[in-house]
Structure 1
Amino acid sequence: MNIKPVRTQGLRRQRLALAVLSSLAVAPMAHAQSNTEAELRARMSQMETMMQEMKTELDALKAEKAAAVAAPAPAPTATAAQLDGMGKSKSSIQSTTIVPKGDGATFSYGGFVRAEAIYTKTPDGEIAENSLGRRQYAPSSIPIGGDGEGIDLNTTAQHSRFWFTLDNTTANGDKVKGHIEMDFGTDLNGNQSSTNSYTPRLRHAYVSWNNWLAGQTWSNFQDPSVLPEAGPILGPTEGTVFVRQVQLRYTRGPWVFSIENPETILGPYQGGSRISSDDNNIPDVTARYTAKGSDGQFSVAGIVRQLRYQTLAGSTNATGYGVSASGKMALGKRDAIMGMLTAGKGIGRYLGYSLNPDGTLDASGDIDAQGVVAGFVGWRHGFSPKLRSNVYYSMASYDNDVDITGLAINKSSRSAHANLIYSPVSNVDIGSELIWGRREIESGDSGELYRIHSFVKYSF
């Protein structure tokens, strides 16, 4: 270790050197100028005093050197990278490492930032401002019979999202997981006039323990793994089962069973505003079987549910049910196909952002469950590792008793989509999708939508 002398040490050494030189010079001068014994004794006494002072100085220097060697090393000087723009050393974000609770636990996070621009033309009227249809492909929002055409440009970053997950394997081998995910995809407190601030909303929040799961996530009746990569967050809307809700789920190999949050959406007799009854007292029950292979997978799911509506005069009940088959398959290294087909009665809220209700109240107040067939098919092609395209077609057709529902209820919806997505660097996607959509009601009237939905996305 190199010890640098302090300033006092240098001064003392200078004084020591001067004292020695002085003594050497004074001695011969004294001898030459005086021969008396008294004068010689005085000179000798003076020299002894100076030598004692020199010894004291040397002892002090040795003590200081020993103390410097024993002292701890000084803190290193901050480097330029550790200094902020004001020239002050940056403080640590936190004083200790994040340590998840539980032995063997790991913490992870992720999400994406997504900016979107949506240019829309609707020949039969304008989509309502701040509605879901301005930001997503929502078939129920396609105008029918409006005055003039609507041409709109909307931009948003509110579909950006983030999630946190904690995985824990106990000493007994039990696997426990907690997951929570949020985005800003609601119009609550949002505006486009100044801040474009949107309220965070809950997407997923669940805990799993070995084969059990409890909390909010995708319905077991839905298969999100087969959805094509799309410009909108949900691409083939009318042909897709799409619900997130609280549930209790059990998985056993390829089988998954669940009981899920019940909710009945009804249409009034001969049309009018929808009714969210919230009167159910039996959960929706689902089951799914999935077979996986090296080139793809195939899955089939079923659902049975209660439709219920209660008034002061009493309650009325009906049964809803459905079957959904879905799958995807690789066709070589660059191509893949995917699709879904769903059919049933009384499952309206599970399809197309509730394009149609689960059922309609008849003249006597009983529930008439409505039938539906819906599905989509898609094809993905990779031009290169950085460039790919998706083409898909989606549809839904409803079996309505117009004597009960009236003529304003949705009869069908369909859409065609084609996109091109480029990834210049890892985790960055730049894409644009062309969309055509059409909605028809039982009266025979219809409306169309033409859209370009572009986005930039960074996943982390």
Structure 2
Amino acid sequence: MQSNKLRVAIRATAATAVLGLASQAHAFSFSAGDIDASVYGYARLNMSYDIDENLANGVQAGNPNSITGSDIGGHFGASANQSRVGIRATNPDGVMVNVEGDFAPGTFRIRHAYGSYKGVLAGQTWSNYNSFVGSTPTLDFNGVVGNAGYQSRTAQLRYTTGAMSFSVEDPKSSVPNQRDSTPTFTARMENSGDSLSYSVAALVKQNAYDTGANDDSTVAFGVFGAAKFAISDMISLQGAINYVDGATNYLYLSGGSDAYLQGSSLENNSGMGGTLGTSIKLGGGSSINVAYGMTTLDDEGLAAGDTETNQNLFVNYMWTPVKNVMMGVEYGLFDTEKVGGASEDASRVMFAAQYNF
């Protein structure tokens, strides 16, 4: 047995910017007894200027669902709430535990809290109906409308074998007088070879409502595909496409509800979304990224004034002047269209600086 005295070292690990989020570039690693652990995270400043109307949330990110058409422009804001810290520990038997949090809502929150052993994962982490394979890096914390799957973390039990993973997850539903009586079941295959990386996934869940006097249920499902193709060492193309029926909470930033009542019957809302982007490495730690995304809902279950289509576009320049430091500037354009054809748009610019450890 090793002594309990902490032996601190600095260990380099991979860094990947996805949706404006970065994994640890360096972690403080140490051993305590027979446990190997690392502490990682970053400090980040986001600054935004909303040209048309104020879209910024607590981390200065934009959302097309926040567009009101007020035309009251000229809003500046800054925040360090996106900063985060995490710890990862592994014992000699291969049991790994990861707990991570950030300050995005303005107070500390848990992002990841899970353990894994021999392909079995239990706890809260990214939904299995999710992939970053087709994502283009943005400075905006929310990222591109229509990104593949559920772009957040959820409680789940997951099993992974090779390229396949299966999960039972906390259901994400939005129906009138909602009753969740079953989990969400998902399956995903994700792999890569040569210049192509890809991911495909499916989910099935139940939508149900119960007023005491009336009740009904439907079966909901979703499928997505995402891919990234490296044209050369400098240029890549990536994107995703996602279709849902009764699962609009898994259609990122669509703004829709899963189902609606037609008399006493529950009917599913359906929709689809997609993204397309390119990343160009310029050398010297700098890159240009262009990303577009959209979602559209079937208007059969929508009422006048409900969101039908959302879109956004990002163009950014990211620069790594020294290891563990990223800075960037970004232009974002957001557009939303309501049932009946009314549409509004808004644009904004953003600066970010991130220091990883």
Matched residue, 2:91: 168
Offset at residue 437 of structure 1 (A)? 1.1
Question: CA distance change for structure 1 residues 321 and 262 in 2, over 3 Å: closer, same or farther?
Answer: same
Q: Secondary structure at the match of 1:322?
A: strand
Q: Does 1:158 align with 2:66?
A: no
Can you list the C-alpha shifts for 1:103-155, whole angstroms capped at 9, x where unaligned?
4x310111111101111123xxx447xx73882121211114x3x43321111
Equivalent residue letter for 1:380: S
Please tell me the root mean square deviation across aligned C-alpha atoms, in Å: 2.0
Q: Which has the higher contact order (CA 8 A, sep 6+)?
A: 2
Q: Does 1:207 align with 2:115?
A: yes
Question: 2:254, 2:297 within 8 Å by CA — same for their partners in 1?
Answer: no
Q: Which has the higher helix share?
A: 1
Equivalent residue letter for 1:374: G
Question: 2:244, 2:250 within 8 Å by CA — same for their partners in 1?
Answer: no
**Which structure has the larger Rg over C-alpha atoms?**
1
Offset at residue 168 of structure 1 (A)? 2.0
Q: Does 1:384 align with 2:283?
A: yes
Mapping for residues 269-284 of structure 1, pairs under 5 Å: 277=178, 279-284=179-184
Mapping for residues 299-448 of structure 1, pairs under 5 Å: 299-353=199-253, 355-362=255-262, 364-401=263-300, 404-448=301-345
Question: 1:139, 1:352 within 8 Å by CA — same for their partners in 2?
Answer: no
Residue among 45, 61, 64 paired with 1:136: 61
Question: 2:259, 2:269 within 8 Å by CA — same for their partners in 1?
Answer: yes
Equivalent residue letter for 1:119: Y
Q: Which has the higher strand share?
A: 2
Offset at residue 354 of structure 1 (A)? 5.5
Residue among 160, 180, 188 paired with 1:251: 160
Q: What is the CA–CA distance in structure 2 between the aligned matches of 1:457 and 1:326, rounded to whole Å?
A: 27
Question: 1:289, 1:300 within 8 Å by CA — same for their partners in 2?
Answer: yes
Q: Secondary structure at the match of 1:355?
A: coil
Q: What is the CA–CA distance in structure 2 between the aligned matches of 1:135 and 1:350, rounded to whole Å?
A: 23
Offset at residue 368 of structure 1 (A)? 1.7
Question: 1:341, 1:374 within 8 Å by CA — same for their partners in 2?
Answer: yes
Q: Scaled by the length of structure 1, what TM-score is found?
A: 0.68
Q: Secondary structure at the match of 1:140?
A: helix
Can you list the C-alpha shifts for 1:321-346, whole angstroms capped at 9, x where unaligned?
11100011212111111111001211
Gapped runs of 5+ residues in structure 1?
A: 1-94, 187-197, 269-274
Question: 2:254, 2:310 within 8 Å by CA — same for their partners in 1?
Answer: no
Equivalent residue letter for 1:160: S
Q: Across the two proteins, how many residue pairs are aligned to each other?
A: 331
Q: What is the CA–CA distance in structure 1 between the aligned matches of 2:65 and 2:84, rounded to whole Å?
A: 25
Offset at residue 353 of structure 1 (A)? 3.9
Can you list the C-alpha shifts for 1:3-55, whole angstroms capped at 9, x where unaligned?
xxxxxxxxxxxxxxxxxxxxxxxxxxxxxxxxxxxxxxxxxxxxxxxxxxxxx
Q: Secondary structure at the match of 1:395?
A: strand
Offset at residue 436 of structure 1 (A)? 0.8
Question: 2:58, 2:104 within 8 Å by CA — same for their partners in 1?
Answer: no
